[in-house]
Structure 1
Amino acid sequence: MAENKKKMSVMQLTIITAVNMLGSGIIMLPSKLAQIGTMSILSWLVTLTGALCLAYSFARCGMFSNRTASGMGGYAEYSYGKDGSFMANFTYAISLVIANVAIAISAVGYGEVFLGVTLKPFEITLSAMALIIITTVANFWGPRVTGNIGTITVWGVIVPVVVLSVIGWFWFSPHMYASSWNPHHESLFTGISASIPITLWAFLGLESAAANSDAVENPKKNVPIAVLGGTIGAGIIYILSTNVMAGIVNNHALVTSNAPFGLTFATMFTPVIGKIVMGLMVLACIGSLLGWQFTVAEVFRSSANEGYFPALFKKVTKREAPIVGMVTLMICQILLSLLTISPNLINQFNTLVNLAVVTNLVPYVLDMGALKTIQMSAGLTKESKGFKLTNVIAVIAGIYSLYSMYASGSEAMVLGALVAFAGWTIYGFVSYKYDLPDAQKESQQNNA
Structure 2
Amino acid sequence: MAKTNRKLGLYTSTSLVVGNMIGAGIFLMPATLATYGTVGIAGWLCAATGAILLAKIFSNLSKIMPLANGGPYAYSREGLGNFAGFIVAWGYWISVWCTNAAIAVSLVSALSTFFPVLATSSIAAIGTGLSAIWLLTYINTLGIITSGIVQLFTTILKIIPLLAVGIAGIFFINTHHFPAFNTSNTSTFTALTNTTALTFFAFLGMECATIPAANVANPTVTIPKATMLGTLLTTFIYILCSVVMMGIIPADTLSHSVTPLADAAVIIYGPYAAYFVSAGAAIAAFGALNGWILIQGQVPAAIATDKLFPAIFKQQNKKGVPATGIIIGSILVSVVMTMNYTKSLADQFKFLILLTTLTVLVPYLLSATAYVILELKQKKHPPAKTFKIMLHGLLAFTFSLWAVAGSGEEVVYWGFILLMAGIPFYAWIIIQQNKKL
TM-score, normalising length from structure 2? 0.84
Matched, 1:249 2:249: yes
CA separation in 2, counterparts of 1:108 and 1:423? Answer: 32
The answer for the alignment partner of 2:150 in structure 1 is 149
1:53–1:393 CA contact under 8 A, matched in 2: yes
Give, in whole Å, the separation in 1 of the partners of 2:70 and 2:90: 14
For the structure 1 residues 148 and 59, does the alpha-carbon distance in structure 2 shift closer, same or farther, using more than 3 Å as the test? closer
Q: Does 1:398 align with 2:389?
A: no
How much has 1:363 moved relative to structure 2?
Answer: 1.1
Deviation at 1:158, TM superposition (A): 0.9
- What is the CA deviation profile of residues 391-414 of structure 1, one whole-angstrom value per residue up to 9, with x for unaligned ones? 111111111111111111233223
How many residue pairs match? The answer is 425
Where structure 2 has 5 or more consecutive residues not aligned to the other structure, the ranges are none
Counterparts of 1:145-184 in structure 2, within 5 Å, are: 145-178=146-179, 181-184=181-184
| TM-aligned CA distance change 1:68 to 1:16, over 3 Å | closer
* Partner secondary structure for residue 205 of structure 1: coil
State the AA in 1 paired with 2:238.
Y
Q: Offset of 1:292 from its aligned partner? A: 1.7
How many Å separate the matches in 1 of 2:303 and 2:159?
32
SS at the partner of 1:55?
A: helix
Question: What amino acid is aligned across from residue 277 of structure 1 in structure 2?
Answer: V
Partner of 1:131: 132
- How far has the Cα of 1:329 moved from its partner? 1.4
The superposition leaves residues 76-121 of structure 1 with CA deviations (integer Å, 9 ceiling, x where unpaired) of: 1244211111111111212211221222222122222343457259
> In structure 2, how many angstroms separate the alpha carbons of the residues matched to 1:203 and 1:322?
26
66-75 vs 108-117, greater mean Cα deviation: 66-75
Q: What is the alpha-carbon distance in structure 2 between the residues aligned to residue 390 and residue 124 of structure 1? A: 52
Q: Report if the CA contact (8 A) 1:198-1:353 is conserved.
A: no
- 1:239 deviation in Å? 0.8
CA shift, 1:256, in A, is: 4.2
Q: Report if the CA contact (8 A) 1:155-1:284 is conserved.
A: no
Give the superposed CA RMSD: 3.5
Note the C-alpha offset of 1:433: 6.5
One-letter amino acid matched to 2:133: I
Q: Work out the CA distance in 1 between the residues paired with 2:303 and 2:13.
A: 29
**Structure 1 counterpart of 2:436, one-letter code:** Q
What code does the residue aligned with 2:75 have?
A: Y
Does the C-alpha gap of structure 1 residues 326 and 259 become closer, same or farther in structure 2, counting only changes over 3 Å? farther
CA distance in 1, matches of 2:341, 2:409: 19
Per-residue deviation, residues 156-198 of structure 1 (Å, max 9, x unmatched): 221122222222111212111226x544433212222222233
SS in 1 for 2:284: helix
Deviation at 1:122, TM superposition (A): 4.8
**Structure 1 segment 28-427 matched on structure 2, within 5 A:** 28-65=28-65, 71-116=71-116, 119-120=119-120, 122=122, 126=126, 127-178=128-179, 181-209=181-209, 219=221, 227-228=227-228, 230-339=230-339, 351=351, 354-381=354-381, 383=382, 386-427=385-426
| Alpha carbons 2:70, 2:303 under 8 Å: kept | no
Secondary structure in structure 2 of the residue aligned to 1:36: coil
CA contact (8 A) 2:100 2:292 kept: yes
- In 2, the alpha carbon distance for the partners of 1:243 and 1:68 equals 39
Amino acid at match of 1:104: A
Q: CA deviation at 1:374?
A: 0.2
Aligned-partner Cα distance in 2 for 1:338–1:415? 22
Question: What residue in structure 2 maps to residue 437 of structure 1?
Answer: none
Q: Secondary structure at the match of 1:271?
A: coil
For residues 414 and 62 of structure 1, the distance between their equivalents in structure 2, rounded to whole angstroms, comes to 32
Determine the C-alpha separation between the residues in 1 that align with 2:242 and 2:272.
21
Rounded to whole Å, the distance in 1 between the matches of 2:324 and 2:11 is 36
Is the CA contact 1:121–1:342 (under 8 Å) kept in the aligned structure 2? Answer: no
- What is the CA distance between 1:314 and its match in structure 2? 2.2
Alpha carbons 1:355, 1:413 under 8 Å: kept: yes
Question: What do residues 16-58 of structure 1 show as CA deviations (whole Å, max 9, x unaligned)?
Answer: 6874565325333223323433321111121112112212222
Residues 113 and 30 (structure 1), Cα distance of their counterparts in 2 relative to 1, 3 Å cut: farther
Of stretches 119-128 and 181-190 in structure 1, the one that deviates more from structure 2 is 119-128
What amino acid sits opposite 1:423 in the alignment?
A: G
Is 1:23 aligned to 2:22, yes or no?
Answer: yes
- Whether contact under 8 Å (2:93, 2:296) holds in the other structure is yes
Segment of structure 1 superposing worse, 224-233 or 161-170? 224-233
| 1:431-446 correspondence runs (5 A) | 431-432=430-431, 441=434, 444-445=435-436
| Unaligned runs of at least 5 residues, structure 1 | 435-440
What SS is found at the alignment partner of 1:206?
Answer: coil
